[in-house]
Amino acid sequence: MFSYISPEQRVRKDHPLRPIRTMVDQVLKQLSPEFNKMYSKVGRPSIPPEQLLRALLLQMLYSVRSERLLVEEIDYNILFRWFVGLNLDDEVWDATVFTKNRDRLLEAEVAKEFLSLVVEQARGKGWASDEHFTVDGSLLEAWASTKSFQPKNPKNKKKGSLPPDDPGNPTVDYRGEKRSNATHESKSDPEAQMARKGPGKEAKLSYSGNLLVENRNGLIVSSLVWEATGTAERDAAMAMLQEVPGTGRVTVGGDKGFDTAEFVRECRNMCVTPHVAQNLARRGGSAIDGRTTQHANYHISQKKRKRIEECFGWLKTIALLRKVRHRGTLKVDWIFTFACAAYNLVRMRNLMRSVVPA
């Protein structure tokens, strides 16, 4: 009638989550003083932030589509209970309580610090380069319908429009109507911008998710969510490059979208050598000349920069960020950054396996 077997004994010793939990425990131990400042010592007890972050990691690692389903799986899954830090007889939180406590974490800079500490672990083991990087951006579809993209000024609406046939999901005809981010905005997520990735692509309400990846093993060093404007990728790249530690010269690879005179000039002012792909079709020619392309390091950077697509692929498919479930730039940036930390943990676990013991 009684069982004295703990979840620790039910998880096999070579389970892939074990090395990830070890690395996460080290990070959470360093963040413990920050957690103490966030929570009051009076009032109703809340969910420990350490357990909240572990649960959010599980949601991304196992592609759990909702927090309600995540709480349900933690309730009956011994592996999930072990990773979060719950015993078999511990009561699992209510989904609503979990969401409210998670929102408290979204208001803090926990995700940035978590990613930074994960990168520090990688650098301590010699897995991350501090000289050669790659930068790129991708569109993240916002949690808003195109029907919510309406004129900012109600006077600009069509005259003589009929009442909606279905107030909850009305039929909308955009034919003949000129819509732009200057005159329209989403009523459900005003910070999302209508954007498309390329010519002929469908325009959707989106955010611009940007990554700075080191070239040695393809680990994400920094991330930043920006408004989806025409210059978002280059603006975010400059902001992330300014945060690169050290004063030595570094290199940064990129696609043709970064081959502009302004971006190349600003990079060189920051002691960053731009190894971006040449856009020979650009008016005035490429901003990258033979002084850069003649070196072998340029061609290595062009070969290594393709690894950043693996990061975006994992974030959009496994972490389910192709369409974000949060609204507002700050919240989307938080969840995007935390997902980058989850990707690094998986990548570092694989690097552990590839190390041959002496």
Mean pLDDT of 181-195: 91
Residues 6-24: what's their mean pLDDT? 91
In the predicted model, is pLDDT for residue 47 greater than 90? no
The Cα 220–Cα 119 span in angstroms is 8
pLDDT tens figures, 220-277 = 999 999 999 989 999 999 999 998 887 788 999 999 999 999 999 999 999 999 999 9
CB 34 within 8 A of CB 116: no
Question: What is the pLDDT at residue 45?
Answer: 62
Q: Which of 99-108, 210-219, 243-252, 293-302 has the highest mean pLDDT?
A: 210-219
Q: pLDDT tens digits, residue range 312-332? A: 999 999 999 999 999 999 999
The DSSP call for residue 201 is P
Instruction: State the fold for domain 129-142+205-327.
Output: Nucleotidyltransferase; domain 5 (3.30.420)
User: Whose CA is closest to 56, among 349, 325, 310?
Assistant: 325
| pLDDT at 358 > cutoff 50 | no
pLDDT band of 164, cuts 50, 70, 90: low
Q: Give CA–CA dist 226/316, Å, rounded.
A: 17
Residue 266: the pLDDT is: 93
Closest CA to 121 of 42, 27, 209, 33: 27
Give the mean pLDDT of the chain. 88
- Residue 354: the pLDDT is 75
For 212, residues 6+ apart whose C-beta sits below 8 A from its C-beta are: 133, 134, 135, 220, 221, 222, 223, 237, 240, 241, 244
| H runs (alpha helix) in the chain | 7-10, 17-38, 49-61, 67-76, 78-84, 95-106, 110-124, 232-242, 261-269, 290-293, 296-304, 308-317, 329-354
Q: What is the pLDDT of residues 104-161, one digit of tens each?
A: 888 778 899 999 999 999 999 999 999 999 999 999 999 998 888 888 876 655 555 6
DSSP H helices in 107-231:
110-124
| pLDDT given for residue 62 in this prediction | 96
**What pLDDT, on a 0 to 100 scale, did the predictor assign at position 7?**
84
Token output for 293: 């392309």
- Segment 20-48 mean pLDDT: 80
Q: Among 283, 265, 263, 246, which Cα is nearest to 137's?
A: 263
Domain assignments of the chain as residue spans, ordered by start: 7-37+45-106, 129-142+205-327
More confident residue, 40 or 299: 299
Q: Which of 31-35, 41-45, 83-87, 307-311 has the lowest mean pLDDT?
A: 41-45
- Lowest-pLDDT range of 94-103, 175-184, 224-233: 175-184
pTM of the model: 0.89
Distance CA 336, CA 85 (A): 24
Average pLDDT over residues 209-217: 95
pLDDT of residue 158: 57
Which amino acid, 285? G
Does 207 score more than 70 pLDDT? Answer: yes
- C-alpha count within 13 angstroms, C-beta hemisphere, residue 197: 8
55: confidence class by pLDDT, cuts 50, 70, 90: very high
66 vs 59: CA distance, rounded Å: 8
